[in-house]
Amino acid sequence: MKIKKLKLKNFHEFTDFECEFNDQITRLVGINGSGKTTIGLTAIWACLKGISERSKDGQLIGERFRFIGKGRPTSDIELTLIDETMGVEIVVKNHISKATNHMSFKAPDDYPVNQKWLNGLLNVAFISARHFASIDSKQQATLLGIDTSKYDADISNLKAEYTLLNRDYTNFGELVEPEKVEEVKVDKLALELQTLQDIDQKHYDKTEEDWLDSTETTTNLKNDIVQLKADLQEKERLLKTAEIDSEKQFKVLERLENPVDKIAKIQGELKTAGETNKKYNTWKTWDDDSKDKAKAKKLVDANQAKQKVKTKERLDYIKKFNFGFDNMSVGENGELLLNDRPIKEPYYSKGELEIVVAKLFMSKDPELRYRFIDDLQDLDDKNQTKIIDSLLKEGFQILTAEVGDKKVKDNTLLIKECGVVESYDQKKNLI
């Protein structure tokens, strides 16, 4: 779809204006303030969308009454569009007052003209590269349908959590392992000592005496066996019994252990318990801190893993959008970036911006393929040709604005004081 004709009545400084656009390129030439931008951008937007305060989606800015001329309390805009595919003309009229807009349409009965159709028809943010570049980078992404706010909020929360987790982990510092010793159970040893001290020493002495007696008996019996061979069998039996008894008594003695030795051993352990337990407590503190640090590190690693997952989800979401640029991205704050740079001057030249914004506009496959290029004279001839040729190749209708006071090329409208003239030596005329 393209624009065929524009009519303005009492719109801004335009009293009664009419002009037709070439279906490929129309050049508006005039000095600064002659009305070129109003024709190429403002009036078209006002007709299709209406005039409002600053909108949330980066659209044209302006107060309604600013565009109502001085001649009467209302303004009228009429735009004739051509649907080249269906061969149909559609006339859109917008009657603007300080209170409201009243829109009307004229089209074949079977042509689906309504406000929804108009809303999808034109986005002024893409019509002009200068206007698109002036919009906040985050708003640029929104205009392209990219909203990373959910991912950005999740990542921001994870980063805040990481700061706290990493602080806890860092606070442990470098943990140096001390000598590991076993804790001395002082209370247990003291109780055991007391128990041993209460053991009847006489019991130990009696057992020792019994063992000595058994040993002596064994010796005597052996002597008797030598002397009394006649009674050998009986003596041997007695000998065997005595040996068994002696062995039992010795085993009992071994199990009992001399309490004096045991007491001495415990007293030695208690004497060094203070120093040993100091070492043990040092090691235990290190062991506890090491375990806590390992847990903290695990939490930090888990947080970073979540950040990677969420960042990948965000990247996959962005990659779903195809704008014709492999290196298009969205920054941490949701801002649109190309080659990690904002789509603005001075990061890109005017010529580069014209091409980039045009390509973004084409990616949206707009119904109205219309482009307004302001200050075309700022581009050299090579870039002018490159931009215009690429837009025409994609089927765009182009309207350019150039500062000057002479017609220099075909399809030129010379604008003077919000009207069309053949030369600046003549008074303005209407077309």
Separation of alpha carbons 431 and 429, rounded Å: 7
Band (pLDDT 50/70/90 cuts) for residue 215 is confident
- Do 158 and 104 lie in one domain? The reply is no
Give the model's pLDDT for residue 59.
Answer: 45
| 231 pLDDT more than 80 | no
Q: Is residue 381 part of a domain?
A: yes
Q: Is residue 311 part of a domain?
A: yes
Give the model's pLDDT for residue 199.
Answer: 66
SS3 103: strand
- Do 151 and 15 lie in one domain? The reply is no
Give the model's pLDDT for residue 319.
Answer: 84
Listed residue (171, 146, 161) closest to 306, CA to CA: 161
Give the model's pLDDT for residue 170.
Answer: 93
Count the domains in the chain: 2
Q: What is the mean pLDDT of residues 135-148?
A: 89
The better pLDDT of the pair 157, 98 is held by: 157
Q: Is residue 56 part of a domain?
A: yes
Q: Is residue 116 part of a domain?
A: yes
Separation of alpha carbons 367 and 112, rounded Å: 13
Separation of alpha carbons 424 and 377, rounded Å: 19
57-91: pLDDT as tens digits: 444 444 556 778 888 889 999 999 998 888 899 99
pTM: 0.63
Of all residues in the chain, the percent with pLDDT exceeding 90 is: 37
Region of poorest pLDDT, from 56-70, 196-210, 417-431? 56-70
Q: Domain span at residue 172?
A: 147-204+256-320
Give the model's pLDDT for residue 201.
Answer: 63
Strands (E), 220-354: 328-330, 336-338, 341-342
- Do 314 and 404 lie in one domain? The reply is no
Give the model's pLDDT for residue 51.
Answer: 53
- Do 163 and 312 lie in one domain? The reply is yes
Band (pLDDT 50/70/90 cuts) for residue 395 is confident
- Do 272 and 402 lie in one domain? The reply is no
Of 180-184, 212-216, 335-339, 355-359, give the range with the top mean pLDDT: 335-339
Give the model's pLDDT for residue 328.
Answer: 87
Q: Is residue 354 part of a domain?
A: no
Q: Report residue 388 CA to chain centroid gap.
A: 38
SS3 416: strand
Task: Single out the residue in 290, 320, 350 at which a domain terminates.
Answer: 320
| 429 pLDDT more than 70 | no
- Do 161 and 92 lie in one domain? The reply is no
- Do 177 and 263 lie in one domain? The reply is yes
Q: Is residue 351 part of a domain?
A: no
- Do 166 and 304 lie in one domain? The reply is yes
Separation of alpha carbons 329 and 278, rounded Å: 59
Q: Is residue 221 part of a domain?
A: no
SS3 85: coil
Separation of alpha carbons 352 and 363, rounded Å: 17
Q: Is residue 346 part of a domain?
A: no
358-383: pLDDT as tens digits: 888 888 777 888 889 988 888 888 88
Give the model's pLDDT for residue 58.
Answer: 43
Residue type, 281: N
- Do 299 and 162 lie in one domain? The reply is yes
Query: Which CATH number fits the domain that encloses residue 390?
Result: 3.40.50.300
- Do 177 and 35 lie in one domain? The reply is no
- Do 18 and 153 lie in one domain? The reply is no
Separation of alpha carbons 181 and 283, rounded Å: 8
| 52 pLDDT more than 70 | no
Q: If you search the block for the tokens 């004096």, which residue do you land on?
A: 260
Sign, Cα dihedral of 393, 396, 402, 408: positive
- Do 169 and 315 lie in one domain? The reply is yes
Q: If you search the block for the tokens 């789509």, which residue do you land on?
A: 343
